[in-house]
Amino acid sequence: MNRYRRRTLALELAMIAIALVVGFPVYVLVNLAVRPASDTSSPITPTSSPTLDNFTQAWQQGALGGALGNSVLVTVCSVVIVLAVSSAAAYPLARVAARWSRGTYLMFLLGLVLPFQLASLPLYQTMRDMGLLGTPWALVLFYSGLQVPFTVFLYVGFLRALPRDFEDAALIDGCTSLQSFRYVVLPMLKPVTVTALVLNAVAVWNDFFTPLLYLSGSAQQTMPVAIAGFVGQYVTDWNLIFAALVTSILPVLIVYFVLQRSIINGFAGGLRG
């Protein structure tokens, strides 16, 4: 039953064919990004004169370096905060059956269904009053709150499926709740933490409309905003635009491919809950 049979080969070929279909748009993206504007052949024909000029030009004219720095800053800071506060919150919410605990959990779940449009204007005005507009900190604060419901949802689900024995033992050994969280619960949460890390990082990195509004009027930009501005300014130059698009997704893809084993295993493990 474990052997590699003819049927397995057929399946393998079918799966590879599917992967090629999935990869096709990315091929076109790269193919257009590395060809000079003078090459106007069909987008699916490989270019005869590949060049990296588009990338250097996009990098310089789009000021993508600064945007990259901001995106890294915002993503890293927000994700660290979200993971810290959400894992801590999940601990009592998963373990205590009291009414306040269930009520709080339900309230967090409410956050999953609220559309961002409802809160956007009042929140903008609060950020203004705090003097955070135009700085990346407005975004860090925003995502730190926005991503809490989903992250708590992941952590609570996972934690509920975990046995409590270790925590109980730790308590008997004289640990405080804080110590038991730090030394017993947190290590057990590692798989779901990887999952939450990936999902939050992707969501924060990719968000477009919030940074557009919160950073407008300042020199600060994040990658998606810089890209949109770039597309607006070089409307006709698709090769240049595609080079910018590739540049914007490259950091994420590199991190993803380098860490893919931990990410996918962790991701899988974290959702088993």
Partner 1 sequence: MKTRTPVTLAAAVTAAAVLAACSGGTKASSGGDSKTLTLASVDQGSVEDVVKAFEKANPGVKVRFTTSGADQYQQQIRTQLSSGTAPDVMSVWPGNGNPGATYVLAKPGYLRDLSDQPWAAKLPDAVKSVAQYEGKTYNAVFGLNGIGAVYNEQAMAKAGLTPPDTWTKLLDFCRAAKAKGTPAFALGNQDNWVTQLVLYALVATTVYGDDRDFDKKMQGGQVTFAKSPWTTALDKYLTMEKTGCFQKNPLGTNYEASQGLAATGKTLGIVQGNWVIALLKGKNPKGTFSFKALPATDDPSGTLIPAAAGAGYGVNAKAKNEDLALKFVNFVMSPKGMNLFVKKQGGLPSLPDTGYAVDPSLEELSTFIQEDRTVPFMDQLWPNAKVQQTMLSGLQEIFSGQSTPKRLLGEMDADYQAGP
Partner 2 sequence: MALAPHKQRPDRERSPDAEPAPRVRRARTTPPWWFALPALLLFTFVVLVPSARGLYYAFTDWDGLDPHFSFVGLDNFSDMLRDPDAMQAIGHTLLIAVSITVVQNGLGLLLALGVNTAIKSRNLLRVFLFAPAVITPIVTAYLWRNLLGPDGAVNSLWDAVGLGGLRQDWLGSPRLALWAVVAVIVWQFAGYSMVIFLAGLQSVPKEVHEAAAIDGAGPVRRFWSVTRPLLAPAFTINLMLSIIGGLKLFDQVYALTGGGPGHATDTISTLIYKDAFTLGEFGYSIALAVVLTIIVAVASTGQYLVLSRNERAAS
List residues near partner 1 by CB under 8 A: 40, 69-70, 72-73, 76-77, 80, 120-121, 124-125, 128, 133-137, 212-213, 216-220, 228-229, 232-233, 235-238, 255, 258-259, 261-262
Q: Is residue 60 within a helix (H) or strand (E), and if so which, with residue range?
A: helix 53-61
Partner from partner 2, partner 1, none contacting 62, C-beta within 5 to 8 A by type: none
C-alpha to C-alpha distance for 215 and 229, rounded to whole angstroms = 13
For residue 52, the partner it binds in partner 2, partner 1, none, with Cβ less than 5 to 8 A by kind, is none
Which one of partner 1, partner 2, none interacts with residue 203, CB within 5 to 8 A by kind? none
For the chain, report the end-to-end CA distance as a whole number of angstroms: 29
- Closest contact distance (angstroms) between CB of 176 and partner 1 is 26
- The least CB distance from residue 60 to partner 2, in Å, is 20
Is residue 181 within 8 Å of residue 166, measured between CB atoms?
Answer: no
User: Which CB atom, from 55 or from 242, has the smaller least distance to partner 2?
Assistant: 242
Q: Which of 32, 36, 31 is nearest to 53 (CA)?
A: 36
Distance of CA 131 to CAs 10, 77, 91, 123, 219, Å? 61, 19, 34, 12, 16
DSSP string, 113-126: HS-HHHHHHHHHHH
Q: Which of the listed partners (partner 1, partner 2, none) does 182 bind, with a CB threshold of 5 to 8 Å by partner kind?
A: none
Of 115 and 163, CB closest to partner 1: 115
| Shortest CB 17 distance to partner 2, Å | 11
Tell me which residue of 22, 4, 8, 188 sits closest to 180, measured CA to CA: 188
| Nearest-approach distance from CB 218 to partner 2, in angstroms | 20
212 binds, among partner 1, partner 2, none (CB under 5 to 8 A by kind): partner 1
Give φ, ψ of 108 to 5 degrees: -60, -40
Q: Of 124 and 166, which has the nearer Cβ to partner 1?
A: 124
Residue 193 Cβ vs partner 2, minimum distance, rounded to whole Å: 12
Supply angle C-alpha 55, 57, 63, rounded to 5. 100
Distance (Å, rounded) from C-alpha 214 to C-alpha 192?
31
Task: Find which of partner 2, partner 1, none residue 237 binds, CB within 5 to 8 Å per kind.
Answer: partner 1
Pick 54 or 180: Cβ nearer partner 1: 54
Q: Which two tokens stand for residue 4?
A: 């590699």
CB of 74 to partner 1, least distance (A): 9
Closer residue to partner 1 (CB): 100 or 257: 257
